Amino acid sequence: MGLEHLSLSATPSGVVARSAVIGERKAASFGAFYEIHLSAGWQVERFRIETAGGARLSLSQDGPGRWTADDGTNRADLDGCIDIDLAGTPFTNTLPIRRLDGQLTTPTELRMLYVPFDTFEPLVDAQRYTELSPHLYRYEAMDGTFAADLPVDEDGLVIDYPTLFRRV
């Protein structure tokens, strides 16, 4: 379970999401701050995440699915990942829903840049999204370990992530 305070701001070039999130996963507590810069089409341009304990990760896309660390290191291991999935927040499930608006009526497999909150070491995660109705999407881990139906509001923002988050 967790609690998040999310702020979305429109910019001339897109949207910036800023958040503080706290919670517990696998019996370990976490606290983190993140900032995600999105294009007008909801494609991640860059993101930064930092724990209350000082661990940090910052990556940017220098082309669709090509990630670079702050020190200029190309992260070829993450090639092909357009969207990100931060483990401690339902907001990042909104990103492929908004970016692929209207294109998820058939099951769509995506390579996600997944950041677990216990290690902060990004990795590739295969996920599937399917629009069940205009305000309901199914998320499935491609390894078959998890699936959830995610209701969204009129702006496409996830409002309930069963067993983890619910908007209040």
Domain ranges of the chain: 2-166
User: How far apart, in whole angstroms, are the C-alpha atoms of residue 29 and residue 102?
Assistant: 37
Token digits of residue 21: 């999130």
Q: Span 43-68, mean pLDDT? A: 94
Q: Per-residue DSSP letters for 83-118?
A: EEEETT-SHHHHHHHHHTTT--SS-EEEEEEEE-TT
Question: pLDDT at position 119, please?
Answer: 84
Does residue 135 have a pLDDT over 80? yes
Token readout for 60 is 């940017």
pLDDT at residue 33 in the model: 96
From the list 23, 129, 120, 152, the residue with the least C-alpha distance to 82 is 129
Is the model's pLDDT at 117 over the cut of 90?
no
At 120, the pLDDT band (50, 70, 90 cuts) reads confident
Partners of residue 85 on adjacent β-strands: 114
8-state DSSP, 76: G
Q: Which residues of 103-122 are buried (b: 16+ CB within 10 A; e: fewer)?
A: ebeeeeebbbbbbbbeebeb
Looking at residue 153, what is its pLDDT? 96
